[in-house]
Chain A
Amino acid sequence: DTGVSQDPRHKITKRGQNVTFRCDPISEHNRLYWYRQTLGQGPEFLTYFQNEAQLEKSRLLSDRFSAERPKGSFSTLEIQRTEQGDSAMYLCASSFGTGKTSGINEQFFGPGTRLTVL
Chain B
Amino acid sequence: AQSVTQLGSHVSVSEGALVLLRCNYSSSVPPYLFWYVQYPNQGLQLLLKYTSAATLVKGINGFEAEFKKSETSFHLTKPSAHMSDAAEYFCAVRTVSSASKIIFGSGTRLSIRP
Contact = CB atoms under 8 A, between A and B. Distances in A.
Interface of A: 4, 31, 33, 35, 40-45, 48, 55-56, 91, 93, 95, 97, 100-101, 104-112, 114
Contacts of A97: 100
Contact of B98 (A44, A91, A101): A101
A109 B90 CA distance: 13
Interface in B1-35: 9, 32
B87 interface: no
Contacts of A44: 104
Contacts of A35: 102
Contacts of B46: 106, 108
Contact of A48 (B9, B43, B99): B99
A45 B97 contact: no
Most chain A CB within a 10 A radius of its CB, from B51, B100, B104? B100
Contacts of A95: 100
Interface string B88-108: 001010101111111111110
A111 B43 contact: yes
B56 interface: no
Given A104-B49, A104-B51, A105-B94, A43 B44 contact: yes
Given A104-B32, A104-B51, A106-B49, 20 more contacts: A4-B43, A31-B100, A33-B102, A40-B9, A40-B106, A42-B105, A43-B90, A43-B102, A44-B104, A45-B99, A56-B101, A91-B43, A91-B44, A97-B100, A107-B102, A109-B45, A111-B41, A111-B42, A112-B43, A114-B41
Contacts of B98: 55-56, 100-101
B103 A45 contact: yes
Most chain A CB within a 10 A radius of its CB, from B32, B96, B99? B99
B106 A109 contact: no
Nearest to B49: A104
Contacts of A100: 98
Contact of B99 (A41, A56, A114): A56
